[in-house]
Amino acid sequence: MAEINIKGEIISPGTVKGTLCFVNFKGDPPAYKDNLSHRDVSREISRFEEEADSVTNELIEAVRILKKDSLFEEAGIIKTHILMLEDAEFRKRVHEKIKVGRLAAEIAVEHVLREMVVVLENSENMLFAQRAADLKDIGMRLRKKLAKEDSAIFYELFKDAKDPVLAVKELLPSLVLEAKVRGVRAFIVERGTSFSHAAILAKSFGLPALRIENLYSLGARNNNKVLIDAMNGIMLIDPSEEDINDVAMLRQEAHSLGDKTQLPVKLWMNIVDPLQIKEEDLKDTEGIGLYRTECLFMENREDFPTEDEQFVIYLSLFEKCRDHQVTIRTLDIGGDKILPYFSFGPQENPYLGFRAHRIYRFHPEIFITQARAILRAGLEVSDLRILYPMIETVDDLWFMQGLLEKAMHSLKNEGIKYKEDFKQGILVEVPSAVWNLRELLNYIDFASLGTNDLFQYFFAVDRNNANVYSAYQPESPVALQMLRDIVDITKELNKPMSICGEIASDINFLPLLVGLGFDNLSIDFHAISAVRRRLLSLDASECRKLAQECLKTTRADRVKAILDEFNSFSQKAKVTHLMDDSESIDPICKMIVHAEGNKLMVVRGNKKYYFCCKYCRDRFIKNGT
């Protein structure tokens, strides 16, 4: 069977091969029920309330699991669904539909959510429009609950497929969560954007996704082998061995140890649990750039883990990384990272409240216990780096270093051996630390840049709030100037600086980071392949020109346009050789156009040229190109 190449829009990056599996999630409501008696009305309302509470409890558990893995933004997404389900106005509207229309609970939910979805989808605000998918997700969950369906029904559709690639009309968060534990390799969708909540989840779990128009016209290709290239925006149906080998080779190149010297920056790995990695995973990186220790504390349900419990976990990591550098971030609880066994007191704004070192002013023993465990286990690793989060001033740094000294003295007095040669650093994630960076660097060995929180505090915006998310602008010229200043100061003082926020793994933002002068990127382990591959395609001198051009602008939308042009040019250069025989490139505007059935064609010699419109065709003829 001939290979078919289909272009698509990248929703979540990555490359995989698998089996195409169409999943029909139309979400049609069950048969209409009318003439409900008053008793039936009461029963339907009770049934709705019971199942809505059941879905809420499932989501609460999903939030707990995500937080356990330190996926706090992803947990925040699911929390918005909980808030929607618990909304009194939503439940009141469903009750009214049941009472007035004598509707079954399923129908009432369908009607209410459909009305809300229409309003959102017709909104001119892109973020509001994207939230429509969240409402659809809630509707799907409720319908399945009310109909007593099991989520395994969705699994039955592809359980026998090898490496399933799901084709669905729209990517929904619950679908991504379910797919994560069912062995799904990738998604093909007909609608949605890379900014949707479901897309964010897919990126976090390392699941590639492409958006393809008229997806269901490919229904006849169900169960066919496919190659998803969500780096270049292409799906190949029945790919040739040559194409599979080409992608495998690119992935191998992106992972090979020898390519380290060809990268414009060094790559480091972020982890939340030592069990995430194996020793062989380290060959693709310089080491562990950030170990978020909160997972260990959030796993415990009754009390803080003891020194020995922590020691065992840290030792398991250090033994895997004996010859690598390991950066371990000390406990950073607070904000949305809460513990069931510790009260944070009254907080109207947790993100500006009791967090990280501020807690140790009241409970220094929490830090000292962790520090003792780290230093004891640290004997097994050659290069240990201890990272202090949320440092705002030199006083905060001295406070933390003083606590570390106490931990060391206690170990020495007890005759316990510990790691004495280690480095200390700070996580730059508040504006005051940037303003005071030059002085802070005098007292530390290295620094890491936490852009997630830094931009949130810099712009005074909650990036998880859809109403104000547009104010969260890493591409703003003023933010770029801040990043450039940070790089300049650290290089002037010869102090290593890594960047460990989300933008470090954003393949569209990477050229700008390289151009600004960052030498070290620390990213989640599942993003290593995609980031390495993108870095291999970059020319450092071109990236520096890009950064200079962006720094000269005064508007974020202009920076976006410059980045889009830079990245789209690179993308087009890569995908031309993968076009299907039925496609061609307009020689004037460089658009990819249909060749088959295209009447806008010119023959020159033995070659046929196809065009998108008469304007391009006439220009081609006039220019005699």
Q: Which residues make Cβ contacts (< 8 Å) with residue 110, sequence separation at least 6?
A: 29, 139, 143
Confidence bin at 404 (pLDDT 50/70/90)? very high
**Residue-level pLDDT at 35:** 58
Lowest mean pLDDT among 25-39, 55-69, 200-214: 25-39
**Residue-level pLDDT at 581:** 47
**Residue-level pLDDT at 33:** 52
Q: Which CATH architecture has domain 256-572?
A: Alpha-Beta Barrel (3.20)
| Long-range residue pairs from 125-131, CB within 8 A, at least 24 positions apart, any chain | 126/193, 126/195, 127/195, 127/466, 127/467, 127/469, 127/470, 128/466, 130/193, 130/195, 130/196, 130/197, 131/197, 131/466
**Residue-level pLDDT at 578:** 32
In order of 144, 223, 322, 332, 364, the CA distances from 423 in angstroms are 53, 53, 16, 19, 21
Q: What is the pTM of this model?
A: 0.63
Task: Give per-residue pLDDT as tens, 160-198.
Answer: 677 889 888 888 777 787 777 778 889 898 877 766 767
Share of the chain above pLDDT 90, in %: 32
Does the structural domain 4-23+157-240 have CATH classification 3.40.50.10190? no
Instruction: Tell me the sheet residues that pair with 498.
Output: 448, 520
Mean pLDDT: which of 65-74, 236-245, 493-502 is highest? Answer: 493-502
Q: Where in the chain is the domain with CATH 1.10.274.10?
A: 38-146
Lowest mean pLDDT among 77-91, 396-410, 478-492: 77-91
**Residue-level pLDDT at 478:** 96
CATH class of 38-146: mainly alpha
Residue 312 corresponds to which tokens in the numbers above?
């065992």
Task: Give per-residue pLDDT as tens, 471-524.
Answer: 888 999 999 999 999 999 999 999 999 999 888 988 889 999 999 999 999 988
Confidence bin at 124 (pLDDT 50/70/90)? low
DSSP 339: -
Q: Where in the chain is the domain with CATH 3.20.20.60?
A: 256-572
Q: Where in the chain is the domain with CATH 3.50.30.10?
A: 4-23+157-240
**Residue-level pLDDT at 576:** 30
